Structure 1
């Protein structure tokens, strides 16, 4: 047996160690297979694949994350100017907003529109030299999030001009003349922008855009110039009904060769005033009956000069690449901000409501079913905020991390959906009765908007996260693809050979280490800290190794077909995503100085992420192939079985307890939530504080009730009976009466006269 082992070992050494043998036996056959297995990529897919930067996602995907690197990322902090804007202009704006009125009127009030323009809310990303604020991504995110806790419609109105739109595209690609003309006007609010991409038959499939621009000669300002004759029909365009300048994506053609030999130039972006002849705007959609402006735009035989192309003629045909590279603003800043706002609002209000609303004589927050929902809200809110800040940090480092922003967009909007669903469950009837005192309903109705835009979530999860991550984050695949595409086949083989050897060693190493970590409960995995979070670093390191190994196996098993195996690739994408989300939680805990009281929130979110990682691995292995392959993967990933569970009940109860009590933990968890007495949140906070001050008096009252020394059907009757029988003092009575009056205001809902419905 030992001789057989030695012979096998010698054979392996000879095959891999002797270059000529290796080239003929391994490299050339694999190279030939690899060329055939390469996925056929359209130009739009190639542009998307090549756009953006690799950041922490690269560390996680490659199997050996350096946690010190994560800790050393300089987390963005708000400047004094940004804080002043948030404390003043944002606070003033929120005081002006009446979300119930906005929804009923289906628009912001004119004073609010004017305030947004005057105070530069549409110029958060525009440089100071052009009259803008030039705020950081974190500030942009924080501003949108705070507004969203008061009015989702107002937040969407602010976020669109500061995300994917004319200003963003002009900053990156516009000519100096275009920047100097448009940016000051956009900064002052003299021009209101929108961007038109989606067509009825082309949503996520940008390559199918039917809108066209034909190069031709036409008349502009009394002269014959070279330009484009445009025809388009777009829908779902936010701010289009009120916009004064339209960013437009279309396919550009030059059938007569007026610009050169290329007739099909490709997707191009142009900037067009909406009062230009032939441009039609004004028609509106009603997205979930929300109050922000969204509608259609069309154009028929609209002639524009060539210099209206963003970036000028030199950028003709580069529109899709431009859009993909700028998507980080929407995916990484704006939409995560809305989801985080949902978390902060839901956590603050649900915790307070659970403490104040009573059933069967006790606060509903005492019921374990409610505590379970509160724990989900609290744990996810902590993770949402952590991910929001970490993702903004990447963007503030002048990066465009396409995989990370896709992760943030998909998972944060889904977490927001879970949070608002739980909040509505806790509020029950209070949550479904519309009116000024309902602070959740519009947020609930608006949640699908975030889910849908910037790439529907099904697309983002099933095609983008792993589809981009597998190639962009992998240390060898992109270079191997370049070698396989080499025009000189023999030269390509020679470039491919060392990459293949390194790839095999890399994959074998990850598989071996994943197995060792699984067998030893991650005891030998790397951790940069001790204490309560050390084991989480080890588990994440183990899953990182397993992800790298399973990804290589999947690419080897399916080749180019993997992109069509959406269920499988989505599960590997889920693993990468939850590794990133968990990393964000650990980073936040470190950056905030190991707040011991926050540990239940940290534990809940991390254990949930680990459970979901393990679940995704389980489902991937169960569906990846035949018995032999499944057995190999299960041996490597779960040799002792899958023992990862959702957080224990004790952790969930600890999270719920913090959320229902007045204190710094609750404040830290929900610091973005705007509290306003005009929309119900103010009364809620006042009532919770009053209950906190009357806590001792409530205990005395409950004791008297249990001992049957006082009688009454309601709490108010019990208080009065206790006062009449002199069982409580004047001070206790006053505290109880105030607390009970406020509690009744909290549980009350709006009622309307019949003629108001007419």
Structure 2
């Protein structure tokens, strides 16, 4: 009898788990309850009261789950009332941020059951013939014109020739439609251009990047009046006007919605007549291109105390375009961002009157400035700093790999030491994953998406990985990396890291508040529906969302446990043999993440917003799932290159280990310890089983970086690599190739020395003796001499006059006059 009972309990538990795993509907669960009640009634000798209780429970459950009007009246209604009371208040700026942009693959990752085929079928980003020609022509030429030491040390600015070339070749109009004289390029072309320039000069990259990111052009394209578009966009496209956009105030950095800059609606004189306008007062700082700008985009809070344009006094954040030569505009002074040379500075104005038609979008867009900004930021933040981060990865991969092959210690290239291999593996693996993330995100943008959560993931994680990559590169270069001069190709990139970390949303804020805070509401299948239903007082919609949410959570609990036990094995996923196992593991993590997110929101409620460490870790899980997804997709899009398996394997396993660490951190610090214990059983039923990428894979990644070949070229594709020995980067390439060719020649000399054929004391003497004995040819001897020269040029550092005098540098470029409308 005991065995029968045990078997029955197993069957009951298994069928219950099956229904939960597959998200059975109310009718299916009612049928299960009925079967259990019947078994108790006729299959086992249980007290009648037990059987009666089972049937009563089945009846009540069936009525509530199947007859929705009854459920809404008895259960959902009271819950709805409580929900509306405890729902945290959301400010207008927070709501506009939540509503901005779109959701994309990030929403799939929140479901617990990502549709991997859909992801793999997303089109890979491609350049048009025209875009490729621009990269091969003007971009290549611009890179050849740039001398980063001259720019950042001697001039502290781009040369007049470079400024002229940038303006005349349309670099400031990459995103402006062709109908207005711009290039009208895709997001992928935009990022390819910025990436390539960034591998040569951060100053030039920022100069090109900012006008094509969040600024006047983008805002005009989406919100400007026809008159504003027709006037400004052609001038911006041709470089006749130089734009900047001023948002940050000394009193409002990360909390940009709290800017104290203000405008008062009033009447005033403009061009000799009285017009309706705004009297502005502002103090802005950190404004890129402000010192040379002719058009100032300005964000401020607008007030209408005399009710001249409506019934409200406080109208909200508003955006305007102000020519910098307008009376009262103070502009031109410069900041020095960590010895970088891009134009950046403050701007102020007090009681500056502008006509109402200078508001971007005209009077109709008064008060809509914050929404306009966050909507545009969703796209711009995906391109600008991620492209520069990607450039750092490509530069460090190519240059550090070459240096590690050229530089020898203890008669061995340093790239073959395991300690150096470890750092090289991080450089190569991070670069591969960053580029994969960039490519997949650009595909989304070119499909018309504006993925706000993904843009935050890109900005935070790619700039953080850039920090890691550059630090590793500096460690490998040692003293060469810290001695500034024309031969240092890493120093300025290292100095610029905090700039990227800070701007376009400080990284600490982005990680701890934005990624999960915005993602949990926007991407979750049910949370936003519940919130909207509460806001609309729609009980029917809330009922559907609530019970769908409950079913979703129960299912993910069952899935997390099973997939944790199996490691995801057995899950049906598409893809190639090289990647199917990774997609199975990501399915497991997606279910576990959805469960952790749901329970965190349910238990902590509105306080989760203040639990920034927990929120940051949950955001890390979502981010790593997205970046690992992108890495698998890149491998597929590039034809499953066998030589790239090491890069794929290292990158994905690094992401999985980080996911495990983040999940463990959530559970270890979850305030409710009983629930934390239960979650740990569901998420990690076998404990913490994952490790960091194995050393053998790191060694293979390092080998790619120090070996000329197709894999290295794919990893660093898009970087500017001059084929000139007198160029600091080009010389590295020649030296690396020469060293590789010289290695078998040197091996012959070493072998002859061991055999006692070459007893000479110095290397040069042994080489000459080897030549005289015909152990090597004249050409081989000359190649060794050539290689020595290149190696010495590569490892040397710069020295200067005792007083470190800086060249004065001529005055560079004056901005054209601003054009008033």
TM > 0.5:
yes
Question: What are the superposed Cα offsets for residues 356-394 of structure 1, whole Å, 9 maximum, x if unpaired?
Answer: 111112111111000000000001111111111111111
Structure 1 residue 495, shift from structure 2 partner: 2.9
Decide which of 556, 567, 572 is 2:613's aligned counterpart. 567
Question: What are the superposed Cα offsets for residues 159-211 of structure 1, whole Å, 9 maximum, x if unpaired?
Answer: 00000000000000000000000001101111000000000011111221000
SS in 1 for 2:613: helix
- Preserved CA contact (<8 Å) 1:439 1:679: no
Structure 1 residue 733, shift from structure 2 partner: 1.1
For 2:110 and 2:630, locate their aligned partners in 1 and report how far apart those are by CA, in whole Å: 15
For 2:63 and 2:670, locate their aligned partners in 1 and report how far apart those are by CA, in whole Å: 33
Structure 1 residue 702, shift from structure 2 partner: 2.9
- Preserved CA contact (<8 Å) 1:438 1:679: no
Decide which of 138, 141, 144 is 1:89's aligned counterpart. 138
Q: Kindly report which structure 2 residues correspond to 1:211-250, keeping only aligned pairs within 5 A, or say none.
A: 211-250=261-300
The alignment status of 1:535 with 2:581, answered yes or no, reads yes
The alignment status of 1:640 with 2:686, answered yes or no, reads yes
- Preserved CA contact (<8 Å) 2:109 2:622: yes
Structure 1 counterpart of 2:749:
701
For 2:231 and 2:789, locate their aligned partners in 1 and report how far apart those are by CA, in whole Å: 58
SS in 1 for 2:265: strand
Structure 2 counterpart of 1:729:
777
Deviates more, 1:348-357 or 1:671-680: 671-680
Decide which of 402, 413, 423 is 1:373's aligned counterpart. 423
Structure 1 counterpart of 2:110:
61
The alignment status of 1:518 with 2:564, answered yes or no, reads yes
For 2:591 and 2:269, locate their aligned partners in 1 and report how far apart those are by CA, in whole Å: 62
Deviates more, 1:667-676 or 1:359-368: 667-676
For 1:528 and 1:195, locate their aligned partners in 2 and report how far apart those are by CA, in whole Å: 45
Structure 1 counterpart of 2:83:
34
Instruction: Report the TM-score when normalising by structure 2.
Output: 0.90
For 2:674 and 2:387, locate their aligned partners in 1 and report how far apart those are by CA, in whole Å: 45
Structure 1 residue 328, shift from structure 2 partner: 2.7
Deviates more, 1:178-187 or 1:359-368: 359-368
Q: Judging changes above 3 Å, is the alpha-carbon distance between structure 1 residues 38 and 711 closer, same or farther for their aligned structure 2 residues?
A: farther
Question: What are the superposed Cα offsets for residues 546-570 of structure 1, whole Å, 9 maximum, x if unpaired?
Answer: 1111111011001111111111111
Structure 1 counterpart of 2:45:
none
Decide which of 216, 220, 223 is 1:173's aligned counterpart. 223
- Preserved CA contact (<8 Å) 1:198 1:235: yes
- Preserved CA contact (<8 Å) 1:715 1:740: no
Q: Judging changes above 3 Å, is the alpha-carbon distance between structure 1 residues 43 and 509 closer, same or farther for their aligned structure 2 residues?
A: same
For 1:734 and 1:90, locate their aligned partners in 2 and report how far apart those are by CA, in whole Å: 37
For 1:715 and 1:57, locate their aligned partners in 2 and report how far apart those are by CA, in whole Å: 59
Structure 1 residue 717, shift from structure 2 partner: 5.0
Q: Judging changes above 3 Å, is the alpha-carbon distance between structure 1 residues 211 and 7 closer, same or farther for their aligned structure 2 residues?
A: same
Q: Kindly report which structure 2 residues correspond to 1:215-364, keeping only aligned pairs within 5 A, or say none.
A: 215-364=265-414
For 1:707 and 1:28, locate their aligned partners in 2 and report how far apart those are by CA, in whole Å: 93
Structure 1 counterpart of 2:125:
76
For 2:193 and 2:668, locate their aligned partners in 1 and report how far apart those are by CA, in whole Å: 44
Structure 1 residue 24, shift from structure 2 partner: 5.4
Deviates more, 1:710-719 or 1:672-681: 710-719
Structure 1 residue 670, shift from structure 2 partner: 0.8
Decide which of 659, 667, 672 is 1:613's aligned counterpart. 659
SS in 1 for 2:292: coil
For 2:804 and 2:514, locate their aligned partners in 1 and report how far apart those are by CA, in whole Å: 48
Deviates more, 1:225-234 or 1:394-403: 394-403
Structure 1 residue 530, shift from structure 2 partner: 3.8
Structure 1 residue 75, shift from structure 2 partner: 1.8
* Larger CA Rg, structure 1 vs 2: 2
Instruction: Report the TM-score when normalising by structure 1.
Output: 0.97
Structure 2 counterpart of 1:502:
548
The alignment status of 1:185 with 2:232, answered yes or no, reads no
For 2:343 and 2:656, locate their aligned partners in 1 and report how far apart those are by CA, in whole Å: 40
Deviates more, 1:402-411 or 1:717-726: 717-726
Structure 1 counterpart of 2:796:
748
For 1:598 and 1:417, locate their aligned partners in 2 and report how far apart those are by CA, in whole Å: 23
Decide which of 580, 588, 594 is 1:548's aligned counterpart. 594
Structure 1 residue 63, shift from structure 2 partner: 1.2
Question: What are the superposed Cα offsets for residues 293-328 of structure 1, whole Å, 9 maximum, x if unpaired?
Answer: 000000111000000000000000000000000013
For 1:158 and 1:715, locate their aligned partners in 2 and report how far apart those are by CA, in whole Å: 50
Structure 1 counterpart of 2:819:
none
RMSD of aligned Cα (Å)? 1.7
Decide which of 629, 632, 642 is 1:596's aligned counterpart. 642
Structure 1 residue 26, shift from structure 2 partner: 3.4
SS in 1 for 2:124: coil
For 2:670 and 2:803, locate their aligned partners in 1 and report how far apart those are by CA, in whole Å: 62
Question: What are the superposed Cα offsets for residues 245-303 of structure 1, whole Å, 9 maximum, x if unpaired?
Answer: 00000000000100110110000000000000000101110001101000000011100
Structure 2 counterpart of 1:128:
178
Structure 2 counterpart of 1:47:
96
Question: What are the superposed Cα offsets for residues 453-485 of structure 1, whole Å, 9 maximum, x if unpaired?
Answer: 110001111111111110111111111111212
SS in 2 for 1:53: coil
Q: Judging changes above 3 Å, is the alpha-carbon distance between structure 1 residues 44 and 712 closer, same or farther for their aligned structure 2 residues?
A: farther
Q: Which runs of 5+ in 1 are unaligned?
A: none
Deviates more, 1:677-686 or 1:54-63: 677-686
- Preserved CA contact (<8 Å) 2:306 2:313: yes
SS in 1 for 2:782: helix
Structure 1 residue 31, shift from structure 2 partner: 1.9
Structure 2 counterpart of 1:690:
738
For 2:179 and 2:292, locate their aligned partners in 1 and report how far apart those are by CA, in whole Å: 26
For 2:415 and 2:774, locate their aligned partners in 1 and report how far apart those are by CA, in whole Å: 30
For 1:189 and 1:626, locate their aligned partners in 2 and report how far apart those are by CA, in whole Å: 59
For 1:642 and 1:153, locate their aligned partners in 2 and report how far apart those are by CA, in whole Å: 45
Structure 1 counterpart of 2:24:
none
Q: Judging changes above 3 Å, is the alpha-carbon distance between structure 1 residues 263 and 705 closer, same or farther for their aligned structure 2 residues?
A: farther
For 2:580 and 2:767, locate their aligned partners in 1 and report how far apart those are by CA, in whole Å: 51
For 1:425 and 1:136, locate their aligned partners in 2 and report how far apart those are by CA, in whole Å: 37
For 1:756 and 1:474, locate their aligned partners in 2 and report how far apart those are by CA, in whole Å: 58
Deviates more, 1:345-354 or 1:707-716: 707-716
SS in 2 for 1:289: coil
SS in 2 for 1:122: helix
Q: Which runs of 5+ in 2 are unaligned?
A: 10-39, 41-49, 807-821
SS in 1 for 2:89: coil
Deviates more, 1:547-556 or 1:28-37: 28-37
For 1:710 and 1:367, locate their aligned partners in 2 and report how far apart those are by CA, in whole Å: 28
Q: Judging changes above 3 Å, is the alpha-carbon distance between structure 1 residues 263 and 746 closer, same or farther for their aligned structure 2 residues?
A: same
SS in 1 for 2:703: helix
Structure 1 counterpart of 2:533:
483
Structure 1 residue 731, shift from structure 2 partner: 2.6
Structure 1 counterpart of 2:162:
112
- Preserved CA contact (<8 Å) 1:31 1:484: yes
The alignment status of 1:100 with 2:149, answered yes or no, reads yes
SS in 2 for 1:225: strand
Structure 1 residue 76, shift from structure 2 partner: 1.9
